[in-house]
Structure 1
Amino acid sequence: MELNAPETILVRAPNWLGDVVMATPGLRALRSHFKDAHIAVQVRPGLEGVLDSCSYVDEVQRVDSYHQGVGSMLREGRRLRQRGRFDLGICIPESFSSAMLMKLAGVKQIVGYGEGLRSPLIDVGVPVPVAWGARRMVARERFVLGLMDAVGCKELGTHIELGTAPGDDARVEALLAKDGDAAQPIVVLAPGASYGPSKCWPAASFAEVGDALQARGVRVALLGTASEADLTQSVAAAMKTTPLDFAGVFSLREVKALIKRSALLVCNDAGARHIAAAFAVPSIVFFGPTSVEKTNLNLDAVQILETDDSCRPCYKRDCPIDHRCMTGITPARVTQRSLATLGVAS
């Protein structure tokens, strides 16, 4: 479908950090096709920093009504409409609420995958390929590019991109210099996953790897959100050496800067792994309840560790049995891979 050149475009981004990163090939295609349009991207609270310094986006809007009920959505829709109606809306999530907010905001033409109860809210419904199945087993980059293709945008590769601001880079460097030799290699351990505990490799295992790395002269930094501080503290308490603990210390913009300058990221299948991939930083990623099939692009610098347990992938947020898919990945194996990646003798 070809559109008359819209002057204003509103994109509703996905709700997971990693999925927002994987939407950047679609944003690149959108910007290339509609060079002069004002492109605004809506994100849920907490994700505003992901697309900061992204050259394809003119404005990032926080969805204040996210999970706040119908009244909040009505008020936000009215407020957005009063600012001025967008010519085109691209609704990436398949939720009813994301399309409804665009409709309430008066977006003139809404494009999205148009199945289910929300189909009357979508002006241009894009068919969902049967091969994707109910779980949408397709790379997130391809999922978004399918919508961009529907409005005439040519794909310009599937590589993901992020940027950082000089001030954020400087603050990270200053903190690293304050706590030690800034020139020393940094390995970031990110033990959390907002999806749920089923995705999390054991804290004691992260601790064992952290000690093994620090024993060989590699600085270890623990990374997490403020809500994950108890988890990073559990890792630190289980370690014999003392790591840097940055849980809740950095904004999301600064988290990008920290990961960008790290030598290696060791993490669960969560948002941090996609930030590392966007900056071509090597990563070791644990897959347990989830499958790589939905995120199987941009893996050049990624080492996937997983087991062959028959119960996975289950996509459960809490493991109902013994978490064997994660406990079966041994710290010794992770340490060996980490040292090899860093070029440090084991």
Structure 2
Amino acid sequence: VYLINIPSTSDPQAGRLAYFRALPALTQTLCRLRRWLQREPYDLVLDLHASFRSGLLGLTNPGGTRVGFADAKELNPLFQHRRIEVPDSVVHAVDKNMLFCNHLRCPPGKSDFQLYSSEQDRDRVAAFLQGHRLRDDDVLVYVNPAARWRTKFWGGGRWAELADRLIGEAGLRVVFAGSAQDRDYIAGVSERMSRTPIVAAGELSLTETVALLQRSAVYAGLDSGPMHMAAMAGVPVVALFGPTNPERVGPYGVEHRLVRNEGLVCLGCRKRHCGVPRCMEGIEVDQVYRAVLSLVDLRRSAAGGGKG
């Protein structure tokens, strides 16, 4: 049993799936899992999520051994039979999770992640983009300007300026994507523009979003779930960082660009509220614009001079 995000449920290796989004659903999920696991218990539970919630999920498995991190928060270590110590040299969350392989004495292998989309997802996205007159040879930049933390926000006017320059100066196509909750914010961004972007906020399912990412040449956005989805989908990422530390939670891989307001002692403070978020306000549009173009050029070079 794994606690995973919905995009990973399309992985062919995923077996039983249990969804929950809120506390009542969590209670129902725990009861359902308990019934399942009483019939077919697991010998081992690996708790990578390292939260109180995932600790509770582990308790639904009768018997078996529960393994987690010694430095986990929210009382999670109290749920575990074995606790893995994390060396100071391990920084990124992915590398930290790979410590489970060492604990189980199995070689970790290459950290080669994938996200899966179905043919139906890809057809749905293709039809959506064709409705916006996207040609096969158009270079598409996926932009996600929203995040859960307000301190991660960059400002709608700057996203509008960036998208206008990508369309008008660089000749690229831009799609704004996000959840249904982001729709109003993204509409406000697009209304500030002189050019016309594609707006997909709230229009696609998560697996269709994977298909949209797979069609995109570059992702530009904040530290968020879609950023990690893009990296897992093999899309080069331009990510803006302020209150969080990219060394720990940045996009995994090498073909990415991290944009920060370097020099501030408060970078990576992890604050969700800040009176003057200089870490994000100090990032210039031109920094992000040049970072996007550098990755577009890399994709074109890799494609032998084509448009990616």
Task: Determine if the TM-score, normalized by the shorter chain, exceeds 0.5.
Answer: yes
Match of 1:110 among 66, 69, 76: 66
Match of 2:105 among 152, 156, 159: 152
Aligned to 1:121: 79
**Cα distance in 2 for residues equivalent to 1:174 and 1:225:** 19
Q: Is the 8 A contact 2:154 2:281 kept in 1?
A: yes
- Note the 1:14-163 alignment, pairs <5 A: 41-43=2-4, 47-48=5-6, 50-63=7-20, 67-68=23-24, 72=28, 75-114=31-70, 117-129=75-87, 131=88, 138-163=91-116
- Tell me how far 1:294 sits from its aligned partner: 0.4
| Structure 1 residues 326 and 70, CA gap change in structure 2 (3 angstroms) | closer
The alignment status of 1:173 with 2:149, answered yes or no, reads no
Q: Is the 8 A contact 2:38 2:62 kept in 1?
A: no
Q: Deviations over 1:280-336 (max 9, x none)?
A: 32221101111112035733221111012222121011223x221111111122223
Give the match's secondary structure for 1:160.
coil
| Structure 1 residues 257 and 118, CA gap change in structure 2 (3 angstroms) | closer
Aligned to 1:311: 266
Give the match's secondary structure for 1:187.
strand
Aligned to 1:197: 150
**Cα distance in 2 for residues equivalent to 1:281 and 1:342:** 11
Match of 2:183 among 226, 229, 242: 229
- Amino acid of the structure 2 residue aligned with 1:305: V
- Amino acid of the structure 2 residue aligned with 1:312: L
Task: Tell me the number of residue pairs that the alignment of Structure 1 and Structure 2 aligns.
Answer: 293
Aligned to 1:283: 237
**Cα distance in 1 for residues equivalent to 2:205 and 2:12:** 20
Q: Deviations over 1:214-250 (max 9, x none)?
A: 2143211101111111211111111112211111111
Which stretch shows the higher mean deviation, 333-342 or 168-177? 333-342
**Cα distance in 2 for residues equivalent to 1:51 and 1:286:** 24
**Cα distance in 1 for residues equivalent to 2:86 and 2:287:** 40
Identical-pair percentage:
27
TM-score, L = length of structure 1:
0.77
Q: Is the 8 A contact 2:217 2:236 kept in 1?
A: yes
**Cα distance in 1 for residues equivalent to 2:269 and 2:139:** 36
- Amino acid of the structure 1 residue aligned with 2:9: D
- Tell me how far 1:90 sits from its aligned partner: 0.8
Which stretch shows the higher mean deviation, 211-220 or 255-264? 211-220
Gaps of 5+ in 2: 301-308
| Structure 1 residues 59 and 78, CA gap change in structure 2 (3 angstroms) | closer
- Note the 1:262-277 alignment, pairs <5 A: 262-277=216-231
Q: Is the 8 A contact 2:227 2:251 kept in 1?
A: no
Task: Give the number of the structure with larger relative contact order, counting CA–CA contacts within 8 Å between residues 6 or more apart.
Answer: 1
Q: Deviations over 1:132-180 (max 9, x none)?
A: 7xxxx72111121112321233111223322222211111111111110
- Amino acid of the structure 1 residue aligned with 2:217: A
Q: Deviations over 1:175-203 (max 9, x none)?
A: 11111033221111100112x11112111
- Amino acid of the structure 2 residue aligned with 1:180: R
**Cα distance in 2 for residues equivalent to 1:297 and 1:201:** 18
Aligned to 2:215: 261
- Amino acid of the structure 2 residue aligned with 1:42: L
TM-score, L = length of structure 2:
0.85
Which stretch shows the higher mean deviation, 294-303 or 73-82? 73-82
Give the match's secondary structure for 1:125.
strand
Aligned to 1:335: 289
User: Considering only aligned residues, what root-mean-square deviation do their CA atoms show, in Å?
Assistant: 2.5
